[in-house]
Amino acid sequence: MTSVKVAILGFGTVGEGIFNILQEKREQFKTQLGIDLDVAKILVRDATKQRVGIANTLLTESIDEVLAVPNLDVVFEAIVGEEPAYGYLDKAIEHHVNVVTANKVMFAKFGQVLQEKAQKYGVQVGYEATTAGGVPVIKTMENILRVNDVNHVQGILNGTSNYILTQMRTEGISFETALKNAQQLGYAEADPYNDVSGQDAFKKLMILSNLAFGQQPNWDDVEVVGISAITLQQVQEADAKGQRYRHIAEVGLDEDGYIFAKIGPQLVDATHPLYSIDGVDNAVSLDTNYIGKLTLVGPGAGMYPTASVMVEDYADMLVKKPALVTI
Amino acid sequence: MTSVKVAILGFGTVGEGIFNILQEKREQFKTQLGIDLDVAKILVRDATKQRVGIANTLLTESIDEVLAVPNLDVVFEAIVGEEPAYGYLDKAIEHHVNVVTANKVMFAKFGQVLQEKAQKYGVQVGYEATTAGGVPVIKTMENILRVNDVNHVQGILNGTSNYILTQMRTEGISFETALKNAQQLGYAEADPYNDVSGQDAFKKLMILSNLAFGQQPNWDDVEVVGISAITLQQVQEADAKGQRYRHIAEVGLDEDGYIFAKIGPQLVDATHPLYSIDGVDNAVSLDTNYIGKLTLVGPGAGMYPTASVMVEDYADMLVKKPALVTI
Q: What is the pLDDT of residues A145-159, one digit of tens each?
A: 999 999 999 999 999
Smallest Cβ distance to B295: which of A146, A297, A311?
A297
CB spacing of A291 vs B305 below 8 angstroms: yes
Tell me what the mean pLDDT of segment B288-306 comes to.
96
CB spacing of A309 vs B291 below 8 angstroms: yes
pTM of the model: 0.95
Which residue out of A204, A241, A262, A320 is catalytically annotated? A204
Asked whether the predicted pLDDT for residue A260 surpasses 70, the reply is: yes
Q: How far apart are CA A116 and CA B239, in angstroms?
A: 53
Distance from CA of A311 to the nearest CA of B (A): 7
Looking at chain A from residue 71 to 130, which residues have their Cβ under 8 Å from any Cβ of chain B? none
Q: How many CB atoms lie within 10 A of CB B266?
A: 17
Looking at chain B, which residue has its C-alpha nearest residue A129?
B291
Rg (chain B; Cα; Å): 21
Asked whether the predicted pLDDT for residue B318 surpasses 50, the reply is: yes
Looking at chain B, which residue has its C-alpha nearest residue A294?
B298
Banded model confidence at residue B152, pLDDT cuts 50, 70, 90: very high
Residues of A in contact with B307 (CB under 8 A): 290
CB spacing of A292 vs B305 below 8 angstroms: yes
Question: Is A49 one of the catalytic residues?
Answer: no
Tell me what the mean pLDDT of segment B300-312 comes to.
95
Q: For residue A262, what are the contacts with CB-CB under 8 A and spacing of at least 6?
A: A222, A223, A224, A249, A250
CB spacing of A296 vs B296 below 8 angstroms: yes
CB spacing of B139 vs A135 below 8 angstroms: no
- Does residue B291 belong to the interface with chain A, where contact is any CB pair within 8 Å? yes
Residues of A in contact with B32 (CB under 8 A): 146
* Residues of B with catalytic function: 204
Q: Measured at the alpha carbon of residue A164, what is the angle toward residues A160 and A167, in degrees to the nearest 5? A: 135
pLDDT digits (tens, 9 = 90+) for A68-125: 999 999 999 999 999 999 999 999 999 999 999 999 999 999 999 999 999 999 999 9
For residue B23, what pLDDT is reported? 96
- Does residue A148 belong to the interface with chain B, where contact is any CB pair within 8 Å? yes
Smallest Cβ distance to A136: which of B144, B292, B319?
B144
Q: For residue B143, what are the contacts with CB-CB under 8 A and spacing of at least 6?
A: A136, A139, A312, A316
pLDDT digits (tens, 9 = 90+) for B25-37: 999 999 888 889 9
Tell me what the mean pLDDT of segment B270-282 comes to.
95
Asked whether the predicted pLDDT for residue A239 surpasses 90, the reply is: yes
Query: For residue A149, what is the DSSP state?
Result: P
Closest of B307, B195, B318 to residue B247, by C-alpha: B195
Residues of B in contact with A273 (CB under 8 A): 297
Domains of chain A: 2-133+304-320 (3.40.50.720), 138-300 (3.30.360.10)
Mutation site for B-interface testing, chosen from A24, A37, A146, A297 by largest number of B Cβ within 10 Å: A146
| Helix residue spans in A145-286 (DSSP H) | 159-171, 175-184, 193-196, 199-213, 232-240
Q: What percent of chain B has pLDDT over 90?
A: 91
Looking at chain A, which residue has its C-alpha nearest residue B27?
A147
Q: How far apart are CA A189 and CA A191, in angstroms?
A: 5
Distance from CA of A172 to the nearest CA of B (A): 18
Residues of A in contact with B316 (CB under 8 A): 143, 146
Tell me what the mean pLDDT of segment B50-66 comes to.
94
Asked whether the predicted pLDDT for residue A325 surpasses 80, the reply is: no
Asked whether the predicted pLDDT for residue A168 surpasses 50, the reply is: yes
Q: How far apart are CA B139 and CA B131, in angstroms?
A: 11
For residue A321, what pLDDT is reported? 57
Q: For residue A256, what are the contacts with CB-CB under 8 A and spacing of at least 6?
A: none
Tell me what the mean pLDDT of segment B43-61 comes to.
93
CB spacing of A308 vs B275 below 8 angstroms: no
Looking at chain B from residue 20 to 79, which residues have their Cβ under 8 Å from any Cβ of chain A? 21, 25, 32-33
Query: In angstroms, what CA-CA distances link A293 with A197, A275, B8, B262, B296?
Result: 28, 15, 26, 28, 11
CB spacing of B305 vs A297 below 8 angstroms: no
